[in-house]
Amino acid sequence: MFESWALQERSKQVVAGSCAMAVLLILVGFTVQDWSGPASAAPAGNPWGTLLTAAALCVEAGAMATTAPSSDGLRLPFQAAWGLSSIGWFCGFLLHQQFFQIGGSGAGTSAHDGPPHWLLVLAPTCIGVGGLWLGYVALVAANAGSWLASWPEFCRNETILKGIFGVWTAVYVCTLLGYISLPIIVVANFKVVTCIIISLVGVSAKKNSWVVAVVTTFTIAFLIEHFSPKPFSTSHTFDAVALINGVLMLYMAMVYGLIQAVIYGHGKYFSALGLGVEGGPIDMTVRREGCCDQNAFSTQPFDAPSWQKAKRDRICTNFTRNCTGLF
């Protein structure tokens, strides 16, 4: 029903590792819950589950930033988007680790009256801006593969896209800093719009399996955030925020996988994007069918699967030897 999930080897490792870590953390969260349901709400501050998942998200985004494509047009925004996300989650880790009691009772802070304002602002800013620009990366990658031919012209113009996402970023940051007053639902829906953009790009690029995974994980995280199910909502160890973070790890892995699938999913555009092919140089010699075979030197399709198989006897081993087969 769905097309292949095929990715480059490094991308496969990142996605598989992220999913495995996310599932492990979520399972731990379910294991440590008090399913009888404590009567009192969780204390101020956050339990260790939030600290642990914030650290895992930081590492996950950082690993994704290291696998940027070699194309000049994609490398910088790809690295910047995932790098900002990693910095944002690191700030979140610092907030929970340094300024709040972890897994303890009481509502005080450990050594300060509260976290510094800049850290409170930097965490959501980096995470939000990084997420916004993943939409830009997805659009540019899809356009390079000619997947957006039926989209409006402005969606295929990188200069216009940079302007749109630049304005979007400025509005988002100014809202967080308090310079612009927008309804909270508008700010909250920024991430919904980003998910919609990435999903539409995936549909246009025929990456339907990735789109389903992206939408599913985003929906689960969205529902948990809005309904805060028990006993996570009252847990003193692994609360609803930690559960959301665990699902966000899966969501990030799916978004990353979709974008990488768009970038590398069509060999026709490797050269246009300046991307390399893993596994070493392609063997372009022709399998020997017989010295007198008139089709021995017929042009082969560039993606012929037979090229990736083990070498057999060849008519030509290089461009300088006699190609009669009489070696």
Q: What is the mean pLDDT of residues 8-18?
A: 89
Give pLDDT, residue 209: 93
pLDDT at residue 248 tops 80 = yes
- Percent of the chain clearing pLDDT 70 (strictly above): 68
Alpha carbon 141 to its chain centroid, in Å, reads 14
Q: What is the mean pLDDT of residues 7-33?
A: 91
Q: Which residue has the higher pLDDT, 237 or 169?
A: 169
- Percent of the chain clearing pLDDT 90 (strictly above): 43
pLDDT at residue 294 tops 60 = no
Please answer whether residues 161 and 141 qualify as being in contact, where contact means their C-beta atoms are separated by less than 8 angstroms: no
Residues 6+ apart with CB under 8 A from 133: 77, 80, 81, 84, 165, 169
Q: Which residue has the higher pLDDT, 190 or 277?
A: 190
Q: What is the mean pLDDT of residues 197-219?
A: 95
- Give 63-84 pLDDT, tens digit per residue: 999 998 877 678 999 999 999 9
Q: What is the Cα–Cα distance from 190 to 302, expressed in whole angstroms?
A: 42
Compute φ and ψ for 195, nearest 5 degrees. -60, -40
pLDDT at residue 221 tops 80 = yes
Least trusted range by pLDDT, from 33-42, 178-187, 215-224: 33-42
Please answer whether residues 139 and 107 qualify as being in contact, where contact means their C-beta atoms are separated by less than 8 angstroms: no
Q: What is the mean pLDDT of residues 37-48?
A: 55
106-120, 167-181, 183-197, range with greatest mean pLDDT: 167-181
Give pLDDT, residue 139: 94
Give pLDDT, residue 218: 96
* Residue 94 CB-half CA count within 13 A: 17
Band (pLDDT 50/70/90 cuts) for residue 268 is very low
Give pLDDT, residue 250: 97
Q: Which residue has the higher pLDDT, 120 or 266?
A: 120
Please answer whether residues 55 and 93 qualify as being in contact, where contact means their C-beta atoms are separated by less than 8 angstroms: yes
Give pLDDT, residue 217: 97
- Give 135-158 pLDDT, tens digit per residue: 999 999 999 888 999 999 999 999
Q: What is the Cα–Cα distance from 280 to 283, expressed in whole angstroms?
A: 9
